[in-house]
């Protein structure tokens, strides 16, 4: 299994500002993803963080709002830009194991509140 850490664990931000969330994995992984969980909702995939190239975004999510970096195989950042109260959510990064099972592991999440 993979051990994933995220920083910060939580934050309260003013509308119109930006927050960068970091995700660190204890081993090299090919596939890394960012998910959002809005209050009372399930998880929705934001994007696939690709090492060495631009992230691949799901429908409804755009790079200008959620820029993602993936400088190497153990680290990624997600920025939530120009925040509004609707961005208040838990943001989670995940990785897929390198074995054939494709088991997925999640970080502890970043709880963001926008006021």
Partner 1 sequence: KQEVTQIPAALSVPEGENLVLNCSFTDSAIYNLQWFRQDPGKGLTSLLLIQSSQREQTSGRLNASLDKSSGRSTLYIAASQPGDSATYLCAVMTTDSWGKLQFGAGTQVVVTP
Classify 109 as helix, strand or coil: coil
| CA distance to 7, 20, 92, 98, 112, per residue, from 36 (Å) | 15, 14, 6, 23, 10
92 binds partner 1 (CB under 8 A): yes
Each residue 20-39 as x (binds partner 1 by CB under 8 A) or -, in order, gives -----------x-x------
CB of 90 to partner 1, least distance (A): 7
13 binds partner 1 (CB under 8 A): no
Beta strand 89-96 with 110-114: parallel, antiparallel or unpaired? Answer: antiparallel
The residues of the shown chain that bind partner 1, judged by CB under 8 A, are 1, 6, 31, 33, 41-45, 48, 90, 92, 94, 96, 101-109, 111
């Amino acid at each position: 299994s993979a051990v994933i850490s995220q920083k910060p664990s939580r934050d309260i931000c003013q509308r119109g500002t930006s927050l960068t969330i970091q995700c660190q994995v204890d081993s090299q992984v090919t596939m890394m993803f960012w998910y959002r969980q809005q209050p009372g909702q399930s998880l929705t995939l934001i994007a696939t963080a690709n090492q060495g190239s631009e992230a691949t975004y799901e429908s409804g999510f755009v790079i200008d709002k959620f820029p993602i970096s993936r400088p190497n195989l153990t680290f990624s950042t997600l920025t939530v830009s120009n925040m509004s109260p609707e961005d208040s959510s838990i943001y989670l990064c995940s990785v897929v194991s390198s074995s054939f099972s494709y088991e997925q592991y999640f970080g502890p999440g970043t709880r963001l509140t926008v006021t």
